[in-house]
Amino acid sequence: MKVLENIKWNDWHWQSSNSYIDGNSYVHGIDNYFKMKISPYYYNLIDSNDVNCPIKKQAIPSDHELKCMGNEYKKYGIDIHDSLAEENLSPVANLVHRYPDRVLMIVTNNCFTFCRFCTRKRIMSEQDTNFNVNNALDYISANKNIRDVLISGGDPLTLEDEQLEEIICKLRKIQHVKIIRIGTRAPVVMPMRITNKLVNILKKYHPIWINTHFNHPKEITEESAKVCRKIIDAGIPLGNQSVLLRGVNDNIDILKELFLKLAENRVRPYYLYQCDLGSGIDHFRTKVKSGIDLIRGLRQHISGLAIPTYVIDAPNGGGKIAVNPDYIIDKTREKIVLQNSKGNLYVYPEIIENEKEKSG
Ligand SMILES: *Cc1c(COP(=O)(O)O)cnc(C)c1O
């Protein structure tokens, strides 16, 4: 019996169909913004003795979600339902084209677990609507500048292997598309989705890159670490995009442990996002200054390999903008004055390019 239970537990289809779902919404009457969905695996990581459990905060709805409906952002012209203005930058359905050389393809609106801080709540649904990406593929075919396609959603790995392979195969046939990236939280919330079969399919279409989404060291379990290794061993570089979340990971020791553990598992911390603006997610936002201070603190203590770029995805479609501690204290024609993370000052003389500059 135990063996049978294990077989089921390790089957991602079983996990999917046994997810904890509250589809009727947490609060009636407010469209689908408060839907809950949690995979049994992720639910199992919740520590019921810890009121501040970081897994619980990311997955279980709370009253705080009712507080922010976004009226306060209207004066900046920000639409709280689509604060990144993705719909404006969508030339065809299910595709966002914000940068000249790369696009984001939305291939599903389903996820294994709905993150409470999701920035794409406007499209999330546990119903598997059949996404038509043919127009998106045609658009990519016709645009020779596009060399990098990010397959996202929702979580693309909620699709069946065959559906996913069909999309990747069509993309691979487009000569100017060099890199195919997949954004997925499966290693964190549904590690059993990373089957040998899936990995063998993906590696046929190299170069494939994957970015996943760990936010807290508690999410790095034996199972999740194992599937990260499986992905990387298939030659797929694996990056991680975390979101800075108040009360979950806005703490130097937690971030240090998270990023070091990721690096130890060969997962490269890629971005640390300032929390986006969105309906019902304000309670997760930290001050930008806290983020900057955290990055400054990390720089002193851990290897550059384990430090992600801290970015704000600018509201209204500005794209990702790196925000860094200000290390340049003074700048003149002949030198800059730098301050390291300990606070010590150092002079770096500038190159003097020509006679005119020399004579001042
Ligand atoms: C984040 C994002 C990308 C990829 O950006 P990188 O900085 O290259 O990782 C591409 N398109 C859209 C719309 C994005 O939001």
Which of 77-81, 125-129, 328-332 has the highest mean predicted lDDT (pLDDT)? 328-332
Token pair 């020509």 is at which residue?
Answer: 354
Q: How confident is the model at residue 1 (pLDDT cuts 50, 70, 90)?
A: low
Identify the DSSP state of 207.
Answer: S
Is 115 part of the annotated catalytic residue set?
yes
Q: What does 46-109 look like in DSSP terms, one character per residue?
A: --TT-TT-HHHHHHS--GGGGT--SGGGGGGT--GGGTT-TTTT-SSTTEEEEETTEEEEE--S
- Determine whether the shortest distance from the Cβ of 102 to ligand 1 is under 6 A: yes
- Determine whether the shortest distance from the Cβ of 203 to ligand 1 is under 6 A: no
pLDDT at 354 over 90: no
Q: How confident is the model at residue 129 (pLDDT cuts 50, 70, 90)?
A: low
**Among 294, 289, 238, 226, which Cα is nearest to 266's?**
238
Catalytic residue among 37, 56, 120, 296: 120
Q: How confident is the model at residue 18 (pLDDT cuts 50, 70, 90)?
A: very high
Residue that wins the pLDDT comparison between 49 and 68: 49
> Quick one: CATH architecture of 12-322?
Alpha-Beta Barrel (3.20)
Count Cβ atoms below 10 Å from residue 315 Cβ, excluding itself: 18
Q: How much of the chain exceeds pLDDT 90, in percent? A: 77
Q: Tell me how far the alpha carbon of residue 169 lies from the centroid of ligand 1, in angstroms.
A: 21
Q: Six-digit token pair at 175?
A: 């000569």
Q: How much of the chain exceeds pLDDT 70, in percent? A: 94
Q: How confident is the model at residue 67 (pLDDT cuts 50, 70, 90)?
A: confident
Torsion of CA 208, 315, 94, 129, to 10 degrees: 100
Q: How confident is the model at residue 80 (pLDDT cuts 50, 70, 90)?
A: confident
Q: Where are the domains of the chain?
A: 12-322, 329-359
Residue that wins the pLDDT comparison between 299 and 31: 299
Partner residues linked to 238 by β-bridges: 210
Mean pLDDT, rounded, for 162-191: 98
Q: How confident is the model at residue 300 (pLDDT cuts 50, 70, 90)?
A: confident
Q: How confident is the model at residue 22 (pLDDT cuts 50, 70, 90)?
A: confident
Mean pLDDT, rounded, for 81-94: 91
Do 145 and 101 form a contact (C-beta atoms < 8 A)? yes
Report the distance separating Cα 26 and Cα 207, nearest Å: 41
Mean pLDDT, rounded, for 145-172: 97
Which of 150, 181, 310, 316 to probe ligand 1 with, by most ligand atoms within 8 A of CB?
150
pLDDT of residue 232: 98
- Determine whether the shortest distance from the Cβ of 73 to ligand 1 is under 6 A: no
Is 53 part of the annotated catalytic residue set?
no
Report the distance separating Cα 269 and Cα 305, nearest Å: 8
188: enclosing H helix or E strand: helix 186-189
The C-alpha angle with vertex 114 and arms to 135 and 52, in degrees rounded to 5, equals: 155
Mean pLDDT, rounded, for 50-60: 97
What pTM was estimated for this model as a whole? 0.94
- What lies within 8 Å, CB to CB, of 151 at 6+ separation is 105, 107, 167, 168, 171, 180, 181, 182, 183
Q: Are strands 148-152 and 179-183 parallel, antiparallel or unpaired?
A: parallel
pLDDT of residue 359: 64
Identify the DSSP state of 354.
Answer: S
pLDDT at 346 over 70: yes
Q: Tell me how far the alpha carbon of residue 10 lies from the centroid of ligand 1, in angstroms.
A: 32
pLDDT of residue 29: 44
Which of 94, 98, 148 to probe ligand 1 with, by most ligand atoms within 8 A of CB?
98
Token pair 């992720």 is at which residue?
Answer: 42
Is the bond leading into 23 cis (omega within 30 degrees of zero)? no
Identify the DSSP state of 277.
Answer: P
Q: Are strands 238-244 and 208-212 parallel, antiparallel or unpaired?
A: parallel
Partner residues linked to 182 by β-bridges: 151, 210
Is 147 part of the annotated catalytic residue set?
no
pLDDT of residue 341: 79
Report the distance separating Cα 197 and Cα 204, nearest Å: 11
Sign of the C-alpha dihedral computed for residues 11, 12, 17 and 18 taken in this order: positive
pLDDT of residue 23: 64
Q: How confident is the model at residue 31 (pLDDT cuts 50, 70, 90)?
A: low
Mean pLDDT, rounded, for 204-215: 98
Mean pLDDT, rounded, for 269-281: 94
Catalytic residue among 82, 250, 282, 313: 313
Count Cβ atoms below 10 Å from residue 206 Cβ, excluding itself: 13
- Determine whether the shortest distance from the Cβ of 182 to ligand 1 is under 6 A: no
Averaged pLDDT of the chain: 92
Q: Is 181 helix (H, G, I), strand (E, B) or coil?
A: strand
Q: Six-digit token pair at 236?
A: 């797929």
C-alpha R_g of the chain:
22
Token pair 């501690």 is at which residue?
Answer: 325
- What lies within 8 Å, CB to CB, of 175 at 6+ separation is none
Q: What does 236-288 look like in DSSP terms, one character per residue?
A: --EEEEEEE-TTTT-SHHHHHHHHHHHHHTTPEEEEEEEPPP-TT-GGG---H
